[in-house]
Structure 1
Amino acid sequence: MTLSSSLEQLRAELSLDLSQLDVIALDFERAMAAGLRGQSSSLKMLPSFLGLPTGDEKGDVLAIDFGGTNLRVMAARLDGSRGATIAAVDRFPLVDAKAGYNLIGASAQGAELFDAIARRLAKIAPDDGSLPLGFTFSFPCEQTAVMRASLLHWTKEIQTQGVVGQDVGNLLVTALKRNGLTRVEPRVILNDTVGTLIAAAYDAGGVDIGAICGTGHNACYLEPKHPLTGAPMIVNIESGNFDGVAQTRFDAQLDRTSVNPGGQRLEKMVSGKYLGEILRLVLVEWTEKGFLPKSPRLHETNVVSGAVLDQILLDHGDHAAIDRIAREKLQMTGLDAEQRRAVQAVMRLLADRSARLASASFVGIVRHTDPKLQAVHGVAIDGSLYEKMPGYAAELQRTLEGMLPKAEHPVATRLAKDGSGIGAAIAARVAKG
């Protein structure tokens, strides 16, 4: 086998045509229906107890955004006319080796984590007056009320102890009291995907699906008549856990070595957190077969970052940037022109597969809510893949159009920035009543 033939084999394994995507969308739709009925399904279909905003929500509000290794707190103002401004914001990492702390490692405790959140919120909370708070907590929860949500399990490699199985709303309220923030009124816990949909609906309307296509991957949608209430409700699908897509050997290898083997299988094929790792595994195989020069760093997990992936895709001409990345990031020297092109081709295959799988899940959602494909649908998407990865948004939109040629209205996608922040602020006002 040669490098060229190996690349063609990968192309066959990673490429998904419309007929394959249709099968995935149908399986996704069926998994949605099963999850909504409470039957066995890889899709949790978690209720948010929130509907869409009207656009006239108004007032000052606080928000917490916790969705990964960094945390953000903010104060915002809603003007009641679909406008929102950020008055203050504070960001901080949950892991800082130089400062000597790790709030999301296996030795960290939940009380320690939530106390740190409360202390950061204290920096921007007013000294007088009561303000509502929206809490974006972007991890799978069993939610039984707008402020009652028990963590099912951590994702994104977080391992903090004493949180799984606990009511995160209660953990937050208790931490706020311990830290003297009695004037802060927590009103809602939501997922970042739900926040993305709420923020986009408040800003301009015309959307009924929200998604994250970035470090993580998830989707939510407005269920027209939720079984719990008989009224419209946003459902957090936890679509990253969908298990209806066949794994390649590289997907299976990544899955086996992750902190949650067997879980979040779709997310491990779609999200930016894992695309670089899959690319690394391909390059490891190629070095072992003698198709690429040896690299001492290729055996280090997560050595290929998201920013590097974008640079690889943007590189044209003689692919000098790929050669530089190989030397500086991987300590791999002597890549010839064919090898550079092959590295870029694999990255393009992985990016396109990610976009097409995300599209297939959106098609499953549309068919679930609108079997006759007659209504107007819009997908609000936040995340670095959709916003920044070269060609990603175009491939996603192209796939949607290819999969739904008979839809009465094209399903449009649009960037929805900061759903996890502004979305939480708006949700606190939506939850008022």
Structure 2
Amino acid sequence: MQPFIAAMSKVRQAFFAAIVRSLLRTKSLLKAILNIWISPSIIKAQNVDANTNGGTNGEASHGSTKKIGLNEFLQIVERAFRPSSSRKRLVELSEGMRKQFWESMEDNPLCMLPSYNHQLPMGDERGTFLALDVGGSTFRVALIELSGRGAETGQEARILKRATFKINNGVKQLKGVLFFDWMAERIEETLLGQSEGHDMSEAPLSMGLAWSFPIEQTSLRSGLLQGMGKGFLAAHGLLGQDLGDLIQASCSRRGLNVHLNAIVNDSSATLLSKAYADPTTRFALILGTGVNAAIHLPVHIFAPPKFGVRPDEWHRCAKHVIVNTELSMFGTGILPSTIWDDALRAAHSKPTFQPLEHFVSGGYLGEIVRLVLIDGIQTAGLFGGVIPPSLVQPYSLETETISYMESDHTPDLFKATEIFASRHLSSLGPPPCPADILAIRTIASHVSVRAASLVAAGVHALWSLRNEAENISPASSSHTLVAYNGSVLENYPGFKTHCQTFLDGLVEASGGSKGVVELVFAEESSLLGAAVAGAVAALGS
């Protein structure tokens, strides 16, 4: 009995302390109590109900919150998320991000990073090129024929041969040069298996590499190897050595007549892949598990230290440069946070590292919905007031799940019910009813629409930055493409459409024309971008 009394005493103390804190911040008593009702982090009832994991995830324990009606709860959720997507608010956010971009071009070593790619493709690069794409779970190799913009639309680039190799734990455990030797063996396997394309007895085959891990790039084809993370041991004993030389050496040991000409990251590859077919491409946007963007900007707007030590020849030739923005890192202090966003960050190991990513990426959308849903269960009686055990753990509600649920527009929501029940069926409470499923879809819609609006604000901020850098007025700005890829933009129902709609509204608010900034899918962007980068470097040298 004593532990229970002590626990209840702690609850009462936390309750009154929260009210006092809220009042001290000039909130009314009613507003303070309302915040406590819906906040997943104010009351932490310890050792009251272990099944809800209370006190460890910043969530209120079951039974410790004031009950309200479902409609009232959903109205609270709507009021929390919807204002973030108003045009006025998005214009303010875009302006704030644009200012942060300018500041980061002065001395920030983590974002707005000029690459070594200072040339966009002319569109007349032709020939057969080898493209390599090294990701966290796959290594892809493709032989690509570039035919130029004069070719039939959609036929500017043709993949002659493509192979995908799983990077399993055994491959990740390959230390040092053994990993690069494994890559060379896969390249040889792909080339020897081709039925058409390049004759290996001819001049060296130009290669481009899309590398999804950190390097300190020192030239278009060179970069100092850094720790790869994700269980990879390839950098073991090789830290600081040149990535291009390591790959070239492994290929040479197998007698491969190839030459690495370019190393690019995923955002640069996406921009280059679409720019080859359409010369109006100036941006790239990646939105999947994470978020990033690339932009083509004049060199003169950057502070000289941003370029590090580069050859004089590069500076003589480079008038513009493709910039890896690291977009995820922007938005500090200006993003429209709700109590659920606050709870997510409070439980995060790096709560301030990638502000925008926490609001918009596939790695977090499901978690935001889960936090809201937990509050709905505890305060509005969703799921009979019983939290499914599978939803207790952070990040247990995947963005893929809510994506499937949002795609179901049938009256009975049969598919949405089926997918949720298959992943989160609880034996402790009643099965989800139609009202429960509809509530989840409604919550997910508020979260995903807000995310689309914030992504649009980020793209608009980049567009405004480029207009300012190039002395272009919004009214006279010509049609510009934003090449995109990533699971959220590609697969989440309605996300790309919402994003384009918000972007159109922001452009019009700036004095531009609707549709002047267009989001366009970049298919196979890593492979095609790597091939184009290799072609530009080989044919331009």
Q: TM-score, normalised by structure 1?
A: 0.87
Counting only pairs closer than 5 Å after superposition, residues 148-159 of structure 1 correspond to structure 2 as 148-150=222-224, 158-159=230-231
CA drift at 1:329 = 0.7
Q: Provide the residue aligned with 1:349 in structure 2.
A: 446
Q: Determine the C-alpha separation between the residues in 2 that align with 1:117 and 1:257.
A: 38
Q: Provide the residue aligned with 1:427 in structure 2.
A: 533
Pick the aligned partner of 2:88 from 1, 19, 30: 19
CA drift at 1:306 = 4.6
Q: Determine the C-alpha separation between the residues in 2 that align with 1:380 and 1:329.
A: 34
Q: Determine the C-alpha separation between the residues in 2 that align with 1:281 and 1:45.
A: 34
Counting only pairs closer than 5 Å after superposition, residues 227-306 of structure 1 correspond to structure 2 as 227=302, 229=315, 231-244=319-332, 245-255=335-345, 260-289=350-379, 290-292=381-383, 293-300=386-393, 302-306=395-399
Pick the aligned partner of 1:59 from 127, 147, 150: 127
Contact kept in structure 2, 1:276 and 1:305, CA below 8 Å: yes
Contact kept in structure 1, 2:171 and 2:179, CA below 8 Å: no
CA drift at 1:311 = 1.6
Contact kept in structure 2, 1:148 and 1:170, CA below 8 Å: yes
CA drift at 1:286 = 3.6
CA drift at 1:48 = 3.6
Counting only pairs closer than 5 Å after superposition, residues 48-87 of structure 1 correspond to structure 2 as 48-80=116-148, 81=150, 83-87=156-160
Residue 425 of structure 2 is aligned to residue 337 of structure 1 = no
Range 286-295 or range 208-217, more displaced: 286-295
CA drift at 1:94 = 2.5
Contact kept in structure 2, 1:61 and 1:133, CA below 8 Å: yes
Q: Provide the residue aligned with 2:161 in structure 1.
A: 88
- Secondary structure of the residue aligned to 2:108 is coil
- Judged with a 3 Å threshold, the aligned counterparts in structure 2 of structure 1 residues 121 and 287 are, in CA distance, closer, same or farther, namely farther
More helix per residue? 2
Cα deviation digits, residues 219-258 of structure 1 (max 9, x gap): 1111134545350211111112224325444445545656
Cα deviation digits, residues 134-184 of structure 1 (max 9, x gap): 111234544331122346776xx835356476654344334445x525422
Contact kept in structure 1, 2:131 and 2:143, CA below 8 Å: yes
Residue 480 of structure 2 is aligned to residue 395 of structure 1 = no
- Secondary structure of the residue aligned to 2:477 is coil
Q: Determine the C-alpha separation between the residues in 1 that align with 2:406 and 2:366.
A: 12
Q: Determine the C-alpha separation between the residues in 1 that align with 2:361 and 2:286.
A: 9
- Judged with a 3 Å threshold, the aligned counterparts in structure 2 of structure 1 residues 162 and 101 are, in CA distance, closer, same or farther, namely closer
Name stretches of at least 5 consecutive residues in structure 2 with no aligned partner.
1-67, 193-199, 308-314
AA at the equivalent of 1:352: V
Q: Provide the residue aligned with 1:36 in structure 2.
A: 105
Q: Provide the residue aligned with 2:61 in structure 1.
A: none
Q: TM-score, normalised by structure 2?
A: 0.71
Q: Percent identity?
A: 26
Q: Provide the residue aligned with 2:288 in structure 1.
A: 214
Cα deviation digits, residues 76-95 of structure 1 (max 9, x gap): 11123451111111113324
Q: Give the count of matched residue pairs.
A: 422
Residue 412 of structure 2 is aligned to residue 412 of structure 1 = no
Q: Determine the C-alpha separation between the residues in 2 that align with 1:21 and 1:414.
A: 22
Contact kept in structure 1, 2:188 and 2:256, CA below 8 Å: no
Q: Determine the C-alpha separation between the residues in 2 that align with 1:249 and 1:181.
A: 59
Q: Provide the residue aligned with 1:368 in structure 2.
A: 465
Contact kept in structure 2, 1:46 and 1:141, CA below 8 Å: no
Contact kept in structure 2, 1:115 and 1:176, CA below 8 Å: yes
Report the structure number with the largest CA radius of gyration.
Answer: 2
